[in-house]
Amino acid sequence: MSVVFVTGSVWDEITAAVRSRGRRYAAVAFLGADAPALLPLTRGDMLVVNASDSAVRSRSTSPEAIAAYLEAGVRVYSEGELHAKVIATSTTAVIGSANASAHSRDRTIEAAVVTGSMRMIDKVRTFVEGLAEETKRLTAADLPRLRKLWDEGEANDPRRAVPGVNRDPEGLIVDVTAGFVLDRWDEMTVDPDVEKQVNRAVRRGCRDASLGVDWLLLEPGDTEYDEGAVVFVYDEDGVEPPIVITGPPAALPRSRRRRYQPYRFTRADAGNWKEWDEVEGCVEALRATLDDHDGRLEGRLDDPDGVGRALLGLWGIEVPDTRA
């Protein structure tokens, strides 16, 4: 059994190790556009990356690298809290600090342990497989959204923090352009095991103690919500506290057509629903508007006299000023 500590040009050693035969399993947090050349994975290999919104927007994870891996038949998954860099082949395990990028190869001081220990190879493979939840698998359908995030981050400095990990806690509302929706939901019924699996998927990334995360069920034919949209759920008794959609719909495990969407909420307001009588001055008008719109009302948050701002005001929440 060989154990080698590598520093300096670690990617020469890593790339050579990855070119061995057999299935490969990698968890490498961040990818540059040239990652497929540094980390040459092929059909059937497994790759877990940090493709969170903040990682892509800060240009630490390249959508083009993800696209190249998908085209090559690699199974790609996203874990928003990932910061590890480990790889297992049939003969070698690599445990180190290097992201798959030219920045890592050419500009930063990296180190890695390369070993032929079967025990270590098995441990790395098990670690990667444990991260690769089916609900987090990336497909070609995710690429337009990821490319949009990448384009949004043109002015960002990726050195400011570790994307997706060392972030300032976000407020409840960070994107006023997504607008708001006042909607009515039916009670959801989901297999308990599936519910636990989705709970793990959506709750793992929450690091702000003031915010909670959960998810909503989309039945076949249900309209999905825009990411960043503020949603108010109502019934005949009143209106629930606002939630904010945090991601696109994902396929519900063990279901052909049902989907789910994650959201965040303010813990302090959880359960603090407002009766219709508390919606002063606009109860009848609002109910009439809902009737005219088949029970669903959408609008903008940047309208100073709008319904969205009035509803947020019931919980003392102000629309943030996002002007530069």
pLDDT of 25 reads 98
pLDDT in single tens digits along all 324 residues of the chain: 788 898 877 998 899 989 888 899 999 999 988 899 999 999 999 999 999 888 888 788 999 999 999 999 999 999 988 999 999 999 999 999 998 988 788 878 899 999 999 999 999 999 999 999 998 999 999 999 999 888 876 544 444 444 444 333 347 887 778 789 988 887 778 888 888 888 887 876 555 667 788 999 998 888 899 888 999 998 878 889 999 998 888 888 888 788 999 999 888 887 788 887 766 555 455 655 555 556 678 888 876 667 788 888 888 888 776 554
pLDDT of 20 reads 84
Q: Are strands 46-49 and 75-78 parallel, antiparallel or unpaired?
A: parallel
| 159 class by beta-carbon count within 10 Å (0-12 exposed, 13-18 middle, 19+ buried) | exposed
Taking the C-alpha atoms of 215, 242, 301 and 201 in order, what is their torsion angle to the nearest 10 degrees? -20
Q: Closest Cα to residue 48, out of 146, 165, 148, 126?
A: 126
| 189 class by beta-carbon count within 10 Å (0-12 exposed, 13-18 middle, 19+ buried) | exposed
State which amino acid sits at residue 90: S
pLDDT of 184 reads 84
pLDDT of 161 reads 40
Confirm if 32 and 50 have CB atoms less than 8 A apart: no
All structural domains of the chain with their residue ranges: 3-152, 176-313
Residue 31 DSSP code: B
- Mark 302-312 as b/e (b = at least 16 C-beta within 10 Å): eeeebbbbebb
- Sign of the Cα torsion 136, 138, 144, 149 reads positive
Looking at domain 3-152, what is its CATH homologous superfamily? Answer: Endonuclease Chain A (3.30.870.10)
pLDDT of 206 reads 57
pLDDT of 321 reads 65
